[in-house]
Homo-oligomer: A and B are copies of this chain.
Amino acid sequence: MSFNTFGREFRFTTWGESHGPALGATVDGTPPGVPLDEGFIQQFLDRRRPGTSKHTTQRQEADQVRILSGVFEGRTTGTPIQLMIENTDQRSKDYGEIATSFRPGHADITYHLKYGLRDYRGGGRSSARETAARVAAGGVAQAVLAHLLPSLKITGYMVQMGAMHLDRARFDAGAIAGNPFFLPDATAVQAWSDYLDGIRKDQNSVGAVIEVLVQGCPPGLGAPVYAKLDTDLAAAMMSINAVKGVEIGEGMAAAMLTGTANADEMRMGNDGPIFLSNHAGGILGGISTGQDIVVRFSVKPTSSITTPRRTINRRGEEIDLITKGRHDPCVGIRAVPVAEAMAACVILDHLLMDRAQTGGSRGEIGPLSQS
């Protein structure tokens, strides 16, 4: 069963544990002839890489990706692309106690109950380290999208971290790359930094909300009824470690709206329909409208904290546990490049699905449209 595979046409299977020799992604379904090299993928991994600021884990991993197959003379061949990242800084001794204890909020207990055994080193398969493989696969998707849909742009950023909220009036996409929070407001970076320092010094952690904006997506991607574009985006985000909620457009707030307020009215522009608002988040009936696609998701606070928590161990003994090791005080931060990668994979998957079913043709709107 495809427990570790994501996607339909563009599929990737991730493999590897946090402290095993390597991890990676097996990518299948890539169109042939797309320019691709390790450097292109590496730029995405570098954005997710641990140890780059005081706000993320101090584990030092180069996260160097190797392409082992599927690329020849700088282009994809259409055969599977194997992406491997070797682990180098595994300090497994940090993880002695969790071999037999169940950290609250972690998958330790559920893996144990399900499988009867687990690779406990650093969380093994359930570690957020798995997301490095997603980012690598997303790099392949980004390369294909750059080839097939050069106008497409995927941008992730934080909109909330605990009590801190993005001031939407100050939204500045240009600021995102310049701070460790992927925050689109340079003026708020210091306050967010101070806030997170306080959290960390309190031996605590905090949750976050990330938003992904997809611009330049053509209309017509998505499919009824169980392969909706929004369904797939929601599944993509919910599959990321620690995610607890997903919203498209108005999201949960849609419950408070009336039909008159929520309607995205339309006028006719020179190049096609113009929507006067975007409550829908760019997707109607599971299919893209051509507007910006807006996806948001929440990430729970890091469960690994140095404040003791009550728990049990395999022998059924009640204990108090402090989770040592090197952990992010806000795992939401590094979820930003992961979410962009997942969005890229979903959009590409639907682009290829659409090529299969409709051949990419589109219904016409205009005076000559048959009616």
Chain A, interface residues (CB within 8 Å), range: 35 or more
Docked CA distance A112–B14 (Å)? 29
Question: How many Å from the CB of A303 to the closest CB on chain B?
Answer: 6
Q: Are B11 and A224 in contact (CB under 8 A)?
A: no
List, in ascending order, chain B residues with CB within 8 A of A358's CB. Answer: 31-32, 78, 114-116
A178 within 8 A of B: no
A 10-28 binary contact with B (CB < 8 Å = 1; else 0): 0101111100111110101
In the complex, identify which listed stretch (A45-53, A54-62, A184-192, A257-265) lies at the interface while the others stay far away. A257-265
- Other-chain contact of A5, B102, B199, B226 (Cβ < 8 Å): B226
List, in ascending order, chain B residues with CB within 8 A of A264's CB. Answer: 104-105
Q: Are A82 and B225 in contact (CB under 8 A)?
A: no
List, in ascending order, chain B residues with CB within 8 A of A354's CB. Answer: 114
A325 within 8 A of B: no
Docked CA distance A102–B285 (Å)? 13
A334 within 8 A of B: no
Q: Are B4 and A107 in contact (CB under 8 A)?
A: no
Docked CA distance A260–B202 (Å)? 10
Question: How many Å from the CB of A217 to the closest CB on chain B?
Answer: 12
- Other-chain contact of A72, B119, B251, B318 (Cβ < 8 Å): B119
A362 within 8 A of B: yes
List, in ascending order, chain B residues with CB within 8 A of A3's CB. Answer: 28-29, 80, 223-227, 353, 357
List, in ascending order, chain B residues with CB within 8 A of A332's CB. Answer: 255
Each complex incorporates copies of this chain amounting to 4
List, in ascending order, chain B residues with CB within 8 A of A84's CB. Answer: 68, 84
- Other-chain contact of A367, B99, B162, B315, B318 (Cβ < 8 Å): B315
A124 within 8 A of B: yes
- Enumerate 17 A-B pairs (CB-CB under 8 Å) in ascending A order: A1-B353, A17-B72, A79-B124, A84-B84, A99-B371, A110-B220, A110-B286, A112-B365, A113-B287, A114-B219, A117-B363, A228-B238, A244-B251, A244-B281, A259-B303, A265-B310, A312-B365
Given contacts A226-B4, A226-B5, whether A284 and B110 have CB atoms under 8 Å apart is yes
Q: Are A369 and B312 in contact (CB under 8 A)?
A: no
Docked CA distance A366–B359 (Å)? 27
A 245-277 binary contact with B (CB < 8 Å = 1; else 0): 111111111111111111111111000010010
Question: How many Å from the CB of A132 to the closest CB on chain B?
Answer: 12
Chain B minimum-CB-distance residue to A275? B104
Chain B minimum-CB-distance residue to A119? B72
Q: Are A119 and B256 in contact (CB under 8 A)?
A: no
Docked CA distance A296–B196 (Å)? 29
Q: Are B364 and A263 in contact (CB under 8 A)?
A: no
List, in ascending order, chain B residues with CB within 8 A of A304's CB. Answer: 259
- Other-chain contact of A266, B70, B102, B238, B250 (Cβ < 8 Å): B102
